[in-house]
Structure 1
Amino acid sequence: MTKELELSIERLYSTFSRYPFRSEIDGCPCCVSESDKEKLHTKKLRSLEEEDLSRYAFKAITTWGDVEDFKHFLPRILELLSTTNFIVNTFVVLGKVNYGNWTSWPGDEQTAIKEFLISWWTDSVKHKTYFDKEAFVEIYKLLGDIELLINKWVLSFEDNSFITYIDLVINYYKDLLYGKKSFKEIDKETIDKVLAWINDRKGMIEKGFFYFEKVDPEFAEEVSRALYIVEHIK
């Protein structure tokens, strides 16, 4: 985890600490069982695990509790989402943030969420071994600033940022180019900016091939595939 992400998570806890835990949180009896409710009582907020919060994360606001209840649990949910293989999909969690009309929340809460999303995205491209398409789409939908996301993606051979870039090219370049459903929620102007960003870094792919040819020949073949895609698929 980057220091930036760590600090942004701490800011979430600090900012949303104004929302206390309510011992009685109303939930639809058809959707929320007593055992589901009990899980929220078993531990302190920072100690709640995936199995404690997953059901709540699915049902929050719509059929279990209100926005203020959601804000209480939000720091831990976002921490689990960004640092573990959280069972609840990214589009569900960030969809709840959007459903809760987060752009109308107090300014410091909006800032804390924005800083978290940017830090999480930066951490993702630096440390994951694959391009997290779902996180990319959902974070963009909340922030609405594609330049911010791609400018935060600084390619380097010293971390995984180049590896995630190559994965993007191999697995999603055609989808971006031909308007496939993987990116159906992103408008064409934004897609064109992503494609331009990819193509502007073609020289980095060439350098990456020669770099990894020496240290990881198998990955160098993937780099070669990516270069072919960028140069020949139009």
Structure 2
Amino acid sequence: MSVHAADEISLAGVRAMLGGCEEMEFVPAEPGSCADVLVVVEDEVVGTGTFAMLRRWQSSSCETGPRVVLVVERFNSEHLLMAVECGVVALLPRADLRESTLVSSVIAVSQGAALLPYRMQGILLDQLHQLRSQVLAPAGFTLSGIETRERDVLQLIAQGLQTDEIAEQLTYSEGTVKNVLYGLMARLRLNSRSHAVAYAMRAGVI
């Protein structure tokens, strides 16, 4: 776990709150440190500087980057999707922060939980719906990043159909079916049809 704060007092305070928990091990607060959880403490409204910093962490850290607990005074709901893109999975109000709340939140996040205020959850779902309907669907994509025709092909592969049968059912040529699969596997670095089907099932696409 790492802690990043806008000022030294906040940094010392948060580290003191978390320091008594034996389950936590601190690593340097810098990109590439392979922290599984990053606690970020901001004084004011989260802005572009915070998101730029989080993107550096996500792009340079081990594997998928840290899960971010954001402690902030005020948060603009319009930035929710951007925050999620940058790894934020928990939003904690700075004014109400307590040691027990922070410790339990960090532990929960390290175990895969997400902690967003109820109002923010509704707003995020609305934003995801708008993204799907206004941006992704017109371009032929789903929220998972899989194209709709890729999804159709994978559904038929999962049912046990062969290339010629898929082509006939979707009124594609066999070459088109093969190109759809090749493009999907190359883009997502999947090594076989079964791997592609498993990926789509985990993503909830099929």
**Fold match, TM over 0.5?**
no
Higher RCO (C-alpha under 8 Å, 6+ residues apart): 1
Q: Which structure shows the higher helix fraction?
A: 1
TM-score by length of 2: 0.36
Larger Rg, first or second structure (1 or 2): 2
